[in-house]
Amino acid sequence: MADSGDIKIGIPGAAGRMGAILITQVNKTDGFSLAAASEIAGHDAIGRDAGEHAGLSTLGVAISENADALFAASDTVLDFTLPAATQIHAECAARYGTALIIGTTGIEAEAQQALETASEKTVIIQAPNMSLCVNLLMRLAEQTAALLDEEYDIEIVEMHHRHKVDVPSGTALGLGGAVAKGRGVSLDELADRGRDGITGARRRGAIGFAALRGGDVVGDHSVIFAADGERLELTHKSASRQTYARGALKAAQWAYGRAPGLYTMADVMELGVAN
């Protein structure tokens, strides 16, 4: 039985790979308890015990298809689903005053607006990557870009497993945003997201992206600052999705009792102003 003082966690997408990792992390971390779990309507996991489905013992929490019930039962919901689902979850979060931790990437304008609207009524923490070390990498990349001028070309290289569908990764784009912020420039104007054929010389000040896909790589990211005669590489390699789950629970703990607003992992980690 969970302690009555535990932060009650809800997990949508509970039958997925990340859902199982989140359930496992909640179950083994003091101060948290699994309050609810959900899946899309018609999923064959509906009705099953969330713990058993994740490879644990019975936790007494059945996977349901009711998102409203998930939010009503939870202090905080950990959302690593899909953009369309996350938009619906933001509306639920606002309705029930439930904190929402978002690790979903690929969110476009309409869904992002839903998050901003929901943040007027509850705590929303959004990050392209929940890993504590990745968020530290973002801050280091921002600081480095602020210190090194356009004599240093910036390239962002990422590699993920063969099943990943979005390119560049949300983390790579987050790193791009960090270095652009460090230099005080627009990522949209300077991003170079694909090279093929006779492209001509590299555009001065461009922020380049390269994406590799293969095998079961969880996520590797490097930010390269290259000038004549020297090169600096800032690199993070993830061997387990558990790092995302640990970061999400740190965010959930930080969110508890916090005033409504749209926050980032930089707020959670108190990384302060980069430059």
Query: Rounded to an integer, what distance in angstroms lies between the CA atom of residue 3 and that of residue 217?
Result: 37
Phi, psi at 147, each rounded to 5°: -95, -25
Q: How many CB atoms lie within 10 A of CB 183?
A: 21
Residue of 53, 89, 160, 250 with catalytic role = 160
164 included as an active-site residue: yes
Q: Is residue 160 among the annotated active site residues?
A: yes
Crossing angle of helices 242-255 and 132-147, in 10° steps, is 90
Strands 230-238 and 219-227: antiparallel
Any idea which residues carry the catalytic annotation?
A: 160, 164
